[in-house]
Structure 1
Amino acid sequence: MNPLLGAEQAVLGSVLLDPGQLSHLDWLAPDHFYRPVHQALFAALRKLRNDGHPALAAEKSVPLSWVTDAVEEASLHVRGLTAAYAHTLISACPRPAHAPVYGRMVLEGAIHRTITEHAIRLHQAARADALQGEVEGALHYANVLTGALSDLARRWGTEPRPVAPATPPATTPATRPPVRTDQVAEDERFLLAVLAERPGAMDEVVGWLRPGDFADPAHGQLYRCLGALHHRGEPIDRITLLWEAQRRGLLADGTLSSDQLTAICDGVGPGSAEWLGEQVMRSSVTRTAATSAHAIRALAENETLAPGQLINHALHALGPLDEVRTRWQTANGRPAPTLPAPAPSPNGPPPAQVHAALARSTPRPVSSPSARPGSAPSPAAVRPPSRGHG
């Protein structure tokens, strides 16, 4: 049996056997279940609990109406659910008192699945933006992914913080989003020509444009040479640029040739360094978003990663995109939007996180049937044929 399917069935079976278990699963949501029929049934059970179903006041055995009413309510939202399947779920539950642990397994599967889905959406948005020469879609879905990671961290009971993996995951090479290759290369060459031939042009872009923003590594190295000349306060022209490239070994190792550099500098015409730099930044944003999405998806598909590790590693993988986004906002004269994040308490994690962590990790001791209304039936009572329902 698939472990996740078994966990989902065990959670539902425990609640069907003992409605009181719902009070220990407040951190679990219907959409954390993978199967739609399980989502509908868990939502129905919570609705019956909120509506004050008589089964909650049962002193001994749980009335059969708890099962039948739950199936009836869930059937309003999903097809294929029968009372027979509800009893299959009951049979799949070894111990109702272990519901919080089963729920933890469901939540763990949901965390991996949710992060994978958001990473796919981010990658798709980056591809679409790259084709259209935009960045808004990728940045929007990056914000959505960051918010989802914070919410999952809260439910899991951990403090969200970027943490680099001890060992980078083994992944296939990231597929770069489709871009208007010719247009991007032309923008980069034109920008470099303007920066090499126009005094003061570097001042327009040096504060936010970086060598890594260039799609062509050779163009990035040439921009690094321009930045070095500007930093040292030396004059910039095609001769000093060629000399700097030679000093850095770019001509010797084949990264650049003197003919390539001459061709770039000869292509100068009227143009704004700031505007051209923004075009280069657009391409950089979408490429970085695609790379981050690819890395996060690879992490989420690694089932051996604990949820807390996965969340923190995913936040770390978003770091390069956050850095590029900040510089993009600077280039456009707008401050980068900041997502509200809870400040860490000096005395430890917030109480809600502690409660979530304990609730999902600590099984509730099995109590006797007479201990409280709605308590879990004894082991004998939870076995076929009645499964504790009278």
Structure 2
Amino acid sequence: MPHTPEPDEDDDLDRVPAPKPVHYAEQALLGALLLEPARLADTEPLIAQHFDSHTHAALFTAIRTLPPPDPADHAKDTAWLNSVLEHARPHAPGLNASYLHALIQFCPLPKHTAAYARMIRADNARRVLRAHAERLASTASDPGLPNPVASVLGMADDISRVLDALAAQFAPHPGSFPRTPLPPDVPRPASKEEDLAEERLLLATATAYPAEVRQMRWLTEADFLLPLHAALWQSITTLVHRGDMVDPITVLGEAQHRGLLTGTLTPKDLMDLVSTPAGSPEYWGEKILGRALLAHAQTVAARFTAYTDDLANTPHQLVTGSRRALADLNSLRTRWMRATAPAPAPAESQPARRGQPPRATRPPPQSALLSPRAHR
């Protein structure tokens, strides 16, 4: 029977990830403060929450909390170091005196404390932005939220405020846009029949009520899940904005000119697709735009993550790239606000013009009662 070699302990050590640069910056800063406590003034506005290591954060808190020692006394004994250890150990049980002395030995130059502090704050900015990206992606993909679009837009506002705060903390510099290769857009699954059915209902109601389509410039082809539906929407809106007559036959003609008829999509299939209206175009359009906004929020979150994973990016590059990604989401926000803006108050009733019948109204379908517009 062949002998199976035992795993080498060195192989296990090779699998342990190497410490990040901020780990060494934290060690150097703490070593500087333990050696020369008066250097604490050079760390502002650093706080314990900026540290990546919990143990280092506990040490920094202890250093900030205890009164600094007299420099002459500190040079002769370890009383203050013992007090720091005693104060920090309840929050970091594995901490010992030998580690404090190792930190002191590790610090290259205590006079560089301010530079070490900036490195720690820069890494914290990276982690903060990444955490916001994870929450944004999680919120945009959570099917259980009662109003996911509002939640996502609220998180986008939070991220914008975070970016403003970071921009004020870190100075700009040339070449401020990151060169990080961006990930592809998060794919939008088109497998949910309910979502595809809503797109078909939009096409049918838009064909039946083209006058309402003229006010729906907030919906674009990119918002659709299925390319065929996007192309048919473009066919319908082209007819509407040209002032042409719109019905299933004229939509068929426009679709033919766009090369949409194939062996799998016959003229009858296409006309059936746009011939069964229900509800209003605006209602279905809002649902389609809302899904597109949530999908794009996931793409924006992926871009944030890509920027934060690239350690070559400075804090200012993170802010610049993230703001540009957020601007793409805000463009959808603008269209969403136009789509869901309260309808203008009806004008006072006026007599119909001579020879013009009063405008007919149609009751909303039961499904339209679920529309956000129905509650405004």
Report the TM range for the smaller structure's normalisation.
0.7 to 0.9
Percent identity, aligned pairs only? Answer: 34
Q: How far does residue 85 in structure 1 lie from its aligned partner after superposition?
A: 1.8
Total equivalences in the alignment? 321
Q: How far does residue 221 in structure 1 lie from its aligned partner after superposition?
A: 2.2
- Partner of residue 241, structure 2: 231
Q: Please tell me whether residue 58 in structure 1 is matched to residue 66 in structure 2.
A: no
Q: Which has the larger radius of gyration?
A: 2
- Partner of residue 264, structure 1: 273
Give the structure-1-normalised TM-score: 0.74
Match of 2:123 among 91, 106, 109: 109
Q: How far does residue 212 in structure 1 lie from its aligned partner after superposition?
A: 1.6
Q: How far does residue 183 in structure 1 lie from its aligned partner after superposition?
A: 1.4
Q: How far does residue 136 in structure 1 lie from its aligned partner after superposition?
A: 2.8
Match of 1:118 among 127, 132, 138: 132
Q: Please tell me whether residue 34 in structure 1 is matched to residue 48 in structure 2.
A: no
Amino acid at match of 1:169: P
Amino acid at match of 1:290: Q
Q: How far does residue 6 in structure 1 lie from its aligned partner after superposition?
A: 1.0
Q: How does 1:307-322 map to 2 (within 5 A)?
A: 307-322=315-330
Cα pair 1:199 1:236 within 8 Å, conserved: yes
Amino acid at match of 1:22: L
Quick one: distance in 1 between partners of 2:265 and 2:318? 41
Q: Please tell me whether residue 333 in structure 1 is matched to residue 335 in structure 2.
A: no
SS at match of 1:285: helix
Quick one: distance in 2 between partners of 1:100 and 1:88? 20
Q: How does 1:203-242 map to 2 (within 5 A)?
A: 203-206=214-217, 208-242=218-252
- Partner of residue 299, structure 2: 291
Quick one: distance in 2 between partners of 1:198 and 1:21? 73
Residues 174/199 of structure 1: CA separation in 2 closer, same or farther (3 Å cut): closer
Match of 1:184 among 171, 195, 205: 195
Quick one: distance in 1 between partners of 2:103 and 2:118? 17
**Cα deviations by residue, 1:258-311 (Å, 9 ceiling, x for unpaired):** 45532321332x302221111112211110101111121112111122221122
SS at match of 2:274: helix
Q: Please tell me whether residue 195 in structure 1 is matched to residue 213 in structure 2.
A: no
Quick one: distance in 2 between partners of 1:298 and 1:196? 42
**Cα deviations by residue, 1:129-148 (Å, 9 ceiling, x for unpaired):** 48867323322322222222
Residues 262/79 of structure 1: CA separation in 2 closer, same or farther (3 Å cut): farther
Match of 2:103 among 89, 107, 114: 89
SS at match of 2:244: coil
SS at match of 1:169: coil
Residues 148/190 of structure 1: CA separation in 2 closer, same or farther (3 Å cut): same
Q: How far does residue 125 in structure 1 lie from its aligned partner after superposition?
A: 0.9
Any gaps of 5 or more consecutive residues in structure 1? 335-390
- Partner of residue 159, structure 2: 145
SS at match of 1:205: coil
Q: Please tell me whether residue 70 in structure 1 is matched to residue 84 in structure 2.
A: yes
- Partner of residue 31, structure 2: 13
Q: How far does residue 178 in structure 1 lie from its aligned partner after superposition?
A: 6.8
Q: How far does residue 174 in structure 1 lie from its aligned partner after superposition?
A: 4.4
Q: How far does residue 191 in structure 1 lie from its aligned partner after superposition?
A: 0.7
Quick one: distance in 1 between partners of 2:265 and 2:160? 39
Q: CA RMSD in A?
A: 2.8
Quick one: distance in 1 between partners of 2:37 and 2:225? 58
- Partner of residue 61, structure 2: 43
Any gaps of 5 or more consecutive residues in structure 2? 1-17, 343-376
Cα pair 2:293 2:329 within 8 Å, conserved: yes
- Partner of residue 247, structure 1: 257
**Cα deviations by residue, 1:62-110 (Å, 9 ceiling, x for unpaired):** 5634323333333343332223222221121111011122222222322
Residues 257/290 of structure 1: CA separation in 2 closer, same or farther (3 Å cut): farther
Cα pair 2:139 2:148 within 8 Å, conserved: no
Give the structure-2-normalised TM-score: 0.76
Amino acid at match of 2:272: A
Residues 33/78 of structure 1: CA separation in 2 closer, same or farther (3 Å cut): same
Cα pair 1:130 1:286 within 8 Å, conserved: no
